[in-house]
């Protein structure tokens, strides 16, 4: 059934298919359109399986098998005394990873998500997270720059962990311009401003799907965003540069599960 559904969406969702293919031209420069066409099919395949695994976890509490990559960084996060920021991407299963991480740690996890565009879908997501979510997990829907800012600052200052996706921006959110795979793009400024204001580390963490109900947590070295000069933007950009390097490395390793269905750069959309 899963194979039938992802194949149908792959064939009929032209904008999403073309968006993935354009992103792949930046990840694999010089690759042929035919090769990227089949790579895109793999992206849709992984996307369908992560949705299925997330549904099984929510409804049946079926826990996938987990591995750890660069475990020393994950242990540094676990042993860190105080709040922290988890910066991740639309890879693997963000929801599943956050829920399981909340069960592995004794601290409360606040997961920040962009709201669904469709009102009924948004209502469904909020209801499911409220009814089926892990006890140590709270979901916040980010709608504007200031909606969650004070809540998130209070959360990390009280020792909680805030999980944010840092590879995509939504309207109304402050951004920082950078380059990804040599293409101009924007990433959210909020995580880096929050890290600077609260003086907590950012841990890049990626959820990688390795097979049927089998995932890996890749945790990178902590990023410290500190005020070293009067130029606040310069200090934030240093943190952004470190994040982009970690993001590029993770995408190269798991390009088949980077669920970016729109071109990440205007250069690719042209």
What is d(CA 15, CA 9) in angstroms, rounded to the nearest whole number?
A: 11
In this predicted structure, the answer to whether residue 1 has a pLDDT above a threshold of 70 is yes
Residues facing 242 on adjacent strands: none
Numbers of helices and strands, H then E, in the chain? 10, 9
Which of 72-76, 123-127, 228-232 bottoms out in mean pLDDT, i.e. has the lowest? 123-127
50 lies in some domain: no
Q: How many beta carbons lie within 10 A of that of residue 5, not counting itself?
A: 13
Q: Alpha-carbon distance 192 to 188, whole Å?
A: 8
- What value does the mean pLDDT of the chain take? 85
The predicted structure's pLDDT at residue 17: 94
Q: What average pLDDT score do residues 202-228 get?
A: 90
Whose tokens are 């390009």? That residue is 255
Q: CA-based diameter of the chain, in Å?
A: 57
- 32 is a domain residue: no
Is 15 domain-assigned? no
Distances (CA, A) of 13 to 50, 77, 116: 18, 39, 18
pLDDT value for 146: 58
Asked if residue 199 belongs to a domain, the reply is yes
Contact in structure between 184 and 267 (CB atoms under 8 Å):
yes
Total tally of structural domains belonging to the chain: 1
Examine residue 151 and state whether it is found in any structural domain, yes or no.
yes
Burial class (CB in 10 A: 0-12, 13-18, 19+), 8: exposed
How many percent of the chain have pLDDT more than 90?
A: 43
Residue 204 parent element (H or E): strand 202-211
Secondary structure letter of residue 13 according to DSSP: -
- Given a cut of 60, whether residue 144 has pLDDT beyond it is no
| Structural domain containing residue 239 | 64-255
DSSP state at residue 255: G
Q: Is 11 a domain residue?
A: no
Q: Is residue 90 part of a domain?
A: yes
Q: Establish if 6 belongs to a structural domain.
A: no
Radius of gyration from C-alpha coordinates of the chain: 18
């Amino acid at each position: 059934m899963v194979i039938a559904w992802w194949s149908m969406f792959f064939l009929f969702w032209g904008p999403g298919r073309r968006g993935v293919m354009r992103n792949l031209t930046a990840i694999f420069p010089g690759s042929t359109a035919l090769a990227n066409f089949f790579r895109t099919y793999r992206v849709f395949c992984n996307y369908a399986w992560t949705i299925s695994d997330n549904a099984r976890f929510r409804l049946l509490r079926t826990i996938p098998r987990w591995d750890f990559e660069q475990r020393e960084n994950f242990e540094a996060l676990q042993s860190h005394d105080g709040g922290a920021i988890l910066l991740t991407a639309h890879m693997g299963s963000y929801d599943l990873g956050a829920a399981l991480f909340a069960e592995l740690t004794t601290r409360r996890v606040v997961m920040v998500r962009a709201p669904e565009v469709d009102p009924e879908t948004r209502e469904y997501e909020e209801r499911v997270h409220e009814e089926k979510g892990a006890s140590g997990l709270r979901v916040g829907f980010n709608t504007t720059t200031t909606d969650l800012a004070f809540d998130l600052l209070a959360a990390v200052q009280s020792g909680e962990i805030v999980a944010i996706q840092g590879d995509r921006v939504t309207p109304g959110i402050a951004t920082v311009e950078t380059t990804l795979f040599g293409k101009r793009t924007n990433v959210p400024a909020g995580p880096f401003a929050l890290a600077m204001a609260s003086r907590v580390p950012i841990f890049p963490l990626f959820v990688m799907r390795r097979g049927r109900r089998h995932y890996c947590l890749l945790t990178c070295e902590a990023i410290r965003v500190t005020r070293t000069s009067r130029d606040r933007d310069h200090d934030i950009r240093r943190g952004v540069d470190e994040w982009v390097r970690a993001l590029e490395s993770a995408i190269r390793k798991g390009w088949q599960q980077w669920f970016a269905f729109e071109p990440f750069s205007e250069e690719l959309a042209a």
